[in-house]
Amino acid sequence: MAFVYAALDTCASGVVITDARLSDNPIIYLNKAFEKMTGYSATEVIGRNCRFLQGKDRQQEGRSTLRAAMRLGREASVEIKNYTKDGRHFWNELHISPIRNKSGTITHFIGVQNDITARKDQEERVTMESMAAEREIARRAENLLISENYFKTIVETIGESMIVTDHHARIVNVNDSFLQTFKLTESEVLDKYLFDIATFSKLPVLREAISNLLVTEDRIKDLTIQHKFPYIGERTLKFNASRVQMEGLFKDRLLIVIDDITESKIFEKRKEDFLKMASHELKTPLTVIKGYIQLMSKMLVPSYQQMGNILDKSAGQVKRLEQLIDELLDVSKIDSGKLQVYNAIFNFDNMILEAVDRINNECAIPLVTVHGSTSIELDGDEVQLSQAFVNLLNNAIKFSPAHKPVEVNLANIKNHIKVSVKDHGIGIHVSDQEKIFERFYRASHTQEKFPGMGIGLYLTETVIKQHGGSIWVDSEPDQGATFSFILPLDTKQRSPYD
């Protein structure tokens, strides 16, 4: 027997022998490989039932297989999770076979075991990973459904016409507005290549823009196309399009939004025509009245002083009316983007001094003084800048009822010109200070006492911004106001007004 045990000790597999004739089938032999595998020495194991190797992990399927095989006296192979002495689990590929005596009675069981932990752990990891992957797929599918529904709802709700295509420009969704605008049905467009649809087949500019969008991350922004479309005739359409990405799910979709701007274009054209007409119709009679007033002044007998005064006042009012018409027309031009800028080099200080002289001449006593200079030849629109500056001067005088002096300060600051107009008038409450640059806004305490339409500062700020500058006010009620603006000397910093 000793010879057999010695042979078993050389085995790489763990071998354990139990005595079935004794109570609780105790271990009576274990080889070296078993000791190595479990960390238990023979003295710690002999006499115990093998079940201790499963520690608390008693609910394993392999255990019932083993129990059944032992009860029936059969061989069995199981994969069972065992624990080493220091508590580490290891997977045991266990084969048990009964040993019978000559009369056929089972005397022993022999168990041969191999550590298959590496393989089992790998299998377990794969199972866990695939379960996690399945969960992730389910989550994504759910998200996709939510997002798809969400996306569909947006597309369907929005008033503009919308098309969603895949990355081959094949239409996957359109909204009702699109179908109604283009007089098409779903079956005529869904699943069709965008440019196979007659409506879009003759729009090479759009085709090029979309092809470009399919290979880049750019957007199509306000692409305006005027075209004679099937069913709906001559239309002006504005196209916006971009790739759609919602939580990384829709990056291969294109969303195309089409805005029918035919009516607004027509309206814009009418407005333009109206502006031309209005400036002519309103200003022509004024020019005539102005001429008559001048004529009357010349014809006036010098001794008829009182009439002279009346004519001067009439001329003043006509001039004021002319200014108001110009301001209103300027606002309309800004609205329609038609306020032209005519840049040229001019002497900035001269422009300021001339404007101040004009204003001083209109006052009974000169109120405006100029301090400092810029000595700059500026590249800009002299007429508009002068008008912007005059607006500030006029306000400074208008809102200083007691004929208080107004000071203009000129300075050069770090590649900029700075102009300040300081008055000692009624001042502006801090809550009004930002709003006064909005068009038609007038601080409430000035509404009734002072004439005006709330346009001057809006125009002034527009012109300053057009030249790349900025304007602000420092003021307190009853403490006067100082309006300041800066203009960059570098024309590159200038941008079209926004």
191 φ, ψ to 5°?
75, 5
**What track of x and - describes contact with ligand ADP for positions 170 through 209 (by CB under 6 A)?**
----------------------------------------
Query: Of 98, 456, 468, 469, which lies in the binding site for ligand ADP, with binding defined by CB under 6 A?
Result: 456
Stretch binding ligand ADP (CB under 6 A), from 143-151, 213-221, 268-276, 451-459:
451-459
Identify the CA nearest to 460 among candidates 381, 392, 413. 392
Instruction: Collapse the DSSP code of 267 into the 3-class scheme (helix H, G, I; strand E, B; otherwise coil) and give the result.
Output: helix
- For the chain, helix, strand, coil in percent to 5 are 45, 25, 30
Q: Report helix angle 456-466 to 382-398, nearest 10.
A: 140
- Alpha carbon 401 to its chain centroid, in Å, reads 49
Point out the residue whose Cβ comes nearest to ligand ADP: 452
Identify the CA nearest to 112 among candidates 75, 139, 156, 83. 75
Query: Of 26, 39, 230, 452, which lies in the binding site for ligand ADP, with binding defined by CB under 6 A?
Result: 452
**What track of x and - describes contact with ligand ADP for positions 90 through 129 (by CB under 6 A)?**
----------------------------------------
Residues of this chain, 388-447, that bind ligand ADP according to CB under 6 A: 391, 395-396, 399, 423, 425-428, 436, 442-443, 446
- Cβ proximity to ligand ADP, 258 vs 459, nearer residue: 459
DSSP structure class, residue 193 = B
**What track of x and - describes contact with ligand ADP for positions 462 through 481 (by CB under 6 A)?**
-------------------x
358 φ, ψ to 5°?
-60, -45
- Cβ proximity to ligand ADP, 289 vs 324, nearer residue: 324
Residues 6 or more apart in contact with residue 425 via CB below 8 angstroms: 396, 399, 400, 401, 404, 480, 481
Residues of this chain, 356-395, that bind ligand ADP according to CB under 6 A: 391, 395
- Cβ proximity to ligand ADP, 342 vs 440, nearer residue: 440
Q: Which two tokens stand for residue 25?
A: 């089938």
69: contact with ligand ADP by CB under 6 A: no
- Cβ proximity to ligand ADP, 230 vs 454, nearer residue: 454
Q: Residue 208 Cβ, how far from ligand ADP at the closest point, in Å? A: 46
One-letter amino acid at 225 equals I
Helix extents (H) in 158-261: 176-182, 186-189, 198-201, 204-215
Distance linking the first and last C-alpha atoms of the chain: 103
Cβ neighbour number for residue 254 with a 10 Å cutoff: 24
Q: Which two tokens stand for residue 176?
A: 């009702």
- Cα(130)–Cα(169) distance, rounded to whole angstroms? 35
Q: Residue 443 Cβ, how far from ligand ADP at the closest point, in Å? A: 3
- Cβ proximity to ligand ADP, 115 vs 432, nearer residue: 432
Cβ neighbour number for residue 291 with a 10 Å cutoff: 10
Q: Residue 384 Cβ, how far from ligand ADP at the closest point, in Å? A: 15
Q: Which two tokens stand for residue 76?
A: 């069995």
- Cβ proximity to ligand ADP, 203 vs 408, nearer residue: 408
**What track of x and - describes contact with ligand ADP for positions 478 through 497 (by CB under 6 A)?**
---x----------------
Q: Residue 334 Cβ, how far from ligand ADP at the closest point, in Å? A: 13
- Cβ proximity to ligand ADP, 34 vs 483, nearer residue: 483
Q: Residue 428 Cβ, how far from ligand ADP at the closest point, in Å? A: 5
Output b/e per residue, 315-353; b: 16+ Cβ within 10 A: beebeeeeeeeebbbbbbbbeeeebeeeeeebebbebbe
- Cα(37)–Cα(93) distance, rounded to whole angstroms? 12
Q: What Rg, from alpha-carbon coordinates, does the chain have?
A: 47
Longest Cα separation, the chain = 161
- Cβ proximity to ligand ADP, 266 vs 453, nearer residue: 453
CB 205 within 8 A of CB 225: yes
453: contact with ligand ADP by CB under 6 A: yes
Query: Of 184, 455, 463, 486, which lies in the binding site for ligand ADP, with binding defined by CB under 6 A?
Result: 455
Residues of this chain, 217-246, that bind ligand ADP according to CB under 6 A: none
Residues of this chain, 293-352, that bind ligand ADP according to CB under 6 A: none
Query: How many residues contact ligand ADP, by CB under 6 A?
Result: 21
Q: Which two tokens stand for residue 165?
A: 């295509």
- Cβ proximity to ligand ADP, 442 vs 467, nearer residue: 442
Q: Residue 290 Cβ, how far from ligand ADP at the closest point, in Å? A: 22
Q: Residue 481 Cβ, how far from ligand ADP at the closest point, in Å? A: 4
Query: Of 15, 457, 471, 489, which lies in the binding site for ligand ADP, with binding defined by CB under 6 A?
Result: 457
CB 347 within 8 A of CB 333: no
Residue with tokens 């016409």: 161
Residues at the site binding ligand ADP, with contacts judged by CB under 6 A: 391, 395-396, 399, 423, 425-428, 436, 442-443, 446, 452-458, 481
